[in-house]
Every structure is written in structure tokens, then in C-alpha cells.
Amino acid sequence: MRTAMTMLLAGLLVTSAAPASRAADAAKLALVIGNARYPDNEFVLNDVANDTQDVTEELKRDGFVVDRQSNLTADTMRQALDRFYARIDRGAVALIFFDGFAIQSNRQTYLLPVDAQIWTEPDVARDGFSLDAILAEMNTRGAAIKIALIDASRRNPFERRFRRYSAGLAPAIAPSNSLVLYSAALGAVTAGGKTDHGLFVAELLREMRAPSISAEQALTNTKNGVVAATNREQVPWLSSSLTTEFSFGGSVTRPTDNAGGDPTKPEPQKPAPQKPACEAPQAEPPPSADSLAKDSVIADLSRKIAANANDVVSRYKRGQVYAIKRAYALAMQDFDVVIRGNPRDAQALNNRCWTRAATGDLQGALADCNLALQINPGLSDALDSRGLVNLKLGRTAEAIKDYDDAIQRNPRSSSSLFGRGVARRKSGGDGATDIAQAKSMNPDIAKEFAGYGVTECVP
């Protein structure tokens, strides 16, 4: 795969040969990718298969030639993109719809194949596909209009393996005459769930079917519909540099001002009932032995450890997976082995600190975090973990200081923001802004902290 920077520069230097005003008669090509079966995820994304099928059918009705692909590995995803690029003629309308997991790294959004092996941040660029590079290549091939519809603002299992990540997606650096729509705001993720159809795609399809409105208006209406349906808890991100008139359904009728208002805009929503000031979520139960035994990632790592008892990398990774799945006793066993082999492994010490904090061994956790920070004073993960320890110890001033230092190094850490908000609230201050920002970035953050025995509620 070409490097993202090479493709991006090439795309930005090419001028699209689009008609000045209309693209109604241009060839319309679409690549629809639905990645639902990620071995690292706890469940199959059932909505992905249904939504990609519905999007494919709608695009075909709108005159697109569609290549629909499912559960692509890195190799098959690269092949699908190459076929897509090869079909683009100068002046075409080129659209990519991606439904699955994506992650941001170095201010770029990467779409992930189902076989991505991501344990550290550099792995993201190695195994993922840069959206910026995809849009740039579409432009290089001569597409007059570039459209990217990305339903991938999900909290995914890869993010939780390295806690310095930035949640959600990054803004797309798109060439001129582009439309880009994400299912959630920049840096935010949608609440996880096992559903058969997604709200974002339902709103998108309804607006694509609306007669006589531009594509840009259809995506704006999609955004507004999701915002209204979720009471502003989910706010899709839209970027447009479109200068060519284009509609999914064909001709465009310009709305006129009249007493009835603009029919393309959603009706005003009634105010939602106020929620209670504090809702303490229930922590998820620990996994069963049966579910752990069936986990393919754990099974693969266990095979490697059985074949080589000195494989500390696989043992460290398995400890991370156990900790993420709340199998804390098993995680501790793996971290203990890693640390015995290298007592100055700051990352392993941090992970054991975090695991001990979750189980209530606060003095042991504090010792691990202190040692990790003695070895690596700038380790933001350990500052975040020690913030949790101090919070559970009731040392709110120390917790706030740790979280401040962690946020200075990583301003997009939902864990540090939520923890600081709770610490501020428990110390008599106002932590509402931090807590709200953390929840906008990660809707499940309160449930995650509930699993550590910490809630935002103050008696």
C-alpha cells in the first residue's frame, strides 16, 4: 500500500476535471464495505450487514454501479480499493461507504480490516487504510465528486490496548469537491449495542430517498435527524467542499422562502424530559470461564505461550486482554510473570497498577504506579492510573493533580477527563464540564468507571 502522505499529496495536487455546475450525467461508482466480524471484538456487528445491504440497494436505485464487500482482510480490502480506483474515469462521481471499526492516529482516520493486529499506536498506520489517502487517490484518478460516508465511530477493542489513543475519528483532509460524513462528532464514539439496524444509516437512507434535494442537503438533514433522535447525544460530523451540483436522486429543486418554512429542514423538536442529575450505571458482570475459553484472541495468545513459556510479549498482550474483559485475577498472573522477567517494565507496571486499582488492592496499585513513573516520569497512562488509585483512596487533590498532568500530555483522554470531573465533584467543586466532555467522547465511560467501583454521584 502506498504511504498515506504520498497518496495525500498526489491527490491534493491534481485538479478535478468536473463540469462547472452539474454532475447529473457523470458515471456514478460506489464501494460499500461492511466489516462486522472482528475476532478481537466481543460480538459480531449485526447492524453492519443489514445496513450495508440497504445502502447498496439505495445506491443502485440512484444509478450507482456498486461493489459491495463484507468482512475484508487487509489483502482483500486493498484489492477492493484498487478495483474501485481502476473503475474511476475522469469526471465520475466516486463514493465509498464504510461500516465497521476505524481509529485515529497522528490526526488521520484509518479504516480497519477484520484481521488488523493492533497492540500499539504504530500498528494503526501499518494495518489500517488512511481515509485521507483514499480520498486523495479518488481525486488523482479523476473523480469530479468524492463522497465518503463513514459509520465507524465506535469504541473498539484496539483502542483500549494503548490508553494514549485519541478516541473517535479525526477530521478528513479532503480534496476540493468532496463530501465527508461521519456517524459521530470528531473525537467522539457512539454507544455500543447489539442492534439489527443503525440509527445513522436509517436517517441517511431516508434523506437519500428524499426527492429534489442536493446531496449536501441530504447529508445535512441526516446529521440533523440523528441529533434530534438522540437529543444531541450523537452529533454526526459533516465536511463539504462541494461546488458541483449533485443529488443522489437526480434533479435538485431549490427551496424557496415561504410561510411554511424550509421543507428540507427537520421539524423543531420538543424539549426532552430532564434526566435525573446523577445516574449511576451498573457495572458489567465479569466474564464467565466459558466466554473466555471461546475468545479467539486469548486462545491464539495462549497457544503461543504454551509453545514458548518465555514469550513475554504474548503474555503481556494476554494480560491486557484479560484486564479489558475484567478477568482481573488472570490478568494479574500474566503481568506478574512479565514484571518478574523485567522489574523495570514501566508499561507492565502501569497495567498491573490499573488492574490492582480495579480490584481494590490500592496500596499495591500505588506502589506499581509510583515505580512506573519513577522509571518513566512522562508516562501519561501511569498518571491516569494513579489518578484512579488516588480517587479510590479519597485523595481527591492528588487525583486531580495526576489527571491534570495526564490531560496535559493527552487532552483527548476520556478516562482522565471523567476521573478529574469525579474528583472535582467529590472535592466540592464543579466537575460537570469534564464529565460531559468525557461522555461525549465515550458514552460508555461511566459504565467503565462503575466497573472500577467509581461513580460520578456524590452523596
| CA end-to-end distance (rounded Å), the chain | 55
- The pLDDT assigned to 277 comes to 54
Number of C-beta neighbours around residue 343 at 10 A: 11
Segments forming the whole domain that contains residue 50: 4-240
416 domain residue, yes or no: no
445 inside domain: no
User: What pLDDT, on a 0 to 100 scale, did the predictor assign at position 252?
Assistant: 56
Confidence at 54, pLDDT banded by 50, 70, 90: very high
In a domain, 92, yes or no: yes
Query: Has residue 405 been placed in a domain?
Result: no
**How much is the mean pLDDT over the chain?**
85
Give the three-class secondary structure for 254.
coil
- Backbone dihedral angles phi then psi of residue 305, each to the nearest 5 degrees: -70, -40
Domain count along the chain: 1
> Based on C-alpha coordinates, what's the Rg of the chain?
24
Phi and psi angles of residue 266, each rounded to the nearest 5 degrees, phi first = -65, 155
pLDDT at residue 53, as a whole number: 95
The answer to the question of residue 260 being in a domain is no
Q: Report the C-alpha gap between 385 and 348 in whole angstroms.
A: 12
> What percentage of the chain carries pLDDT values higher than 90?
56
| Residue range 355-382: mean pLDDT, rounded | 94
Residues 250-289: pLDDT tens digits? 655 544 444 444 444 454 554 444 444 566 677 677 788 8
How confident is the model over 77-127, as pLDDT tens digits? 999 999 999 999 999 999 999 999 999 888 899 999 999 988 887 888 999
Residue 395 lies in a domain: no
Question: How far does CA 367 lie from the centroid of its chain?
Answer: 33
Whether 21 is in a domain gets the answer yes
Q: Which residue has the higher pLDDT, 445 or 340?
A: 340
Give the per-residue pLDDT at 184.
92
pLDDT of residue 367: 97
Give CA separation, 294 vs 116, 302, 442, in Å: 19, 12, 27
Burial of 453: CB neighbours in 10 Å, binned 0-12, 13-18, 19+: middle
pTM for this entry = 0.67
Q: What is the pLDDT of residues 282-293, one digit of tens each?
A: 767 778 888 888
CA distances from 11 to 7, 68, 105, 148, 360 (A): 6, 24, 20, 15, 53
CA 384, distance to chain mean position in Å, is 21
Question: Shortest CA distance to 248 belongs to which of 147, 142, 174, 134?
Answer: 147
List, for residues 12-41, the tens digit of each pLDDT value.
Answer: 434 333 333 444 456 999 999 999 999 888
Percent of the chain surpassing pLDDT 70: 85
Sign of CA dihedral 218, 222, 225, 227: negative
Q: Determine the pLDDT at residue 382.
A: 92
Q: Let me know if residue 339 belongs to a domain.
A: no
| Distance, CA of 129 to CA of 2 (rounded, Å) | 10
Query: Picking from 126-130, 192-196, 206-210, 386-390, which range would have the lowest pLDDT averaged per residue?
Result: 192-196
Residue pair 159/442 in contact by the 8 Å Cβ criterion: no
Find the CATH number of the domain harbouring 103.
Answer: 3.40.50.1460
